[in-house]
Chain A
């Protein structure tokens, strides 16, 4: 709607600033990595300082946190959940299982490389990552959003 290049840039800056500091994570623990989410959100490693909040349904969420391994069954549901989210949306691959299969590298039932199925923006390494790593991952995501990159669907 806005034709002026500079006006578009200003709008983008404001929007990215807001998106950066208000990240709503879908409360969906897909694997055993989800156990590190409660400590991150609660008092000791407060993630709400960064504006990170839990969202109840995919319609309200920005970030899908794929925590850990995905079985084939769960993959089907996670893809559907991802499709139900609204743009702009991001995926954070949480734990080693999303990077190279992690602990279940030779299982018949899990998928090994998340990147082959869904466009991942940020990976957080570890099995399970400590809350400080999780906060670092969110900070990484914030940098991506501020730079205007990471709109995962385009990748």
Chain B
């Protein structure tokens, strides 16, 4: 099949030369030529005496009008640019903090809200959810130091437990167990400052909790 796209040697040699010629001719035709400068005193120039010169003078007048319009537009744009520069310089405090929260690490309550949203939107895998919930319920009910279970639910990729404790110290004693079976899964917890209410999210075994820092 290679012979089908092969070109004769002579045409290959002429092709670049022909291309150059076309480019040169086009450039010559389109190159702007110097125009006669109109007489400063309004006196017609020598060329304006002929009809061709009259037409050229008319075109020149319309170009001048366009030029004036463009000049005005450029001046307007310059003013706008200067105005926005002034605004940026005079109010730096108003613009910088707005950008900061996008990069700042999230605080615990905000992370909990995002996991709550993810969990609430999740569709349950009934078989896994039922079995996992039972395992966790047995664990929580098996020891009073695990606090009071206010809510316990599993969906598809994680479980959520809402626990209540008498004191912050009781909460801390429970938290020592997070990371040990059956709570050895990837997890996140958040409690109120008093430590009496705690929300715990546990990922499905073999999975990590999703990253909620980018939303």
Is the A/B pair a real complex?
A: no
Binding site for A on B (CB under 8 A): none
Binding site for B on A (CB under 8 A): none
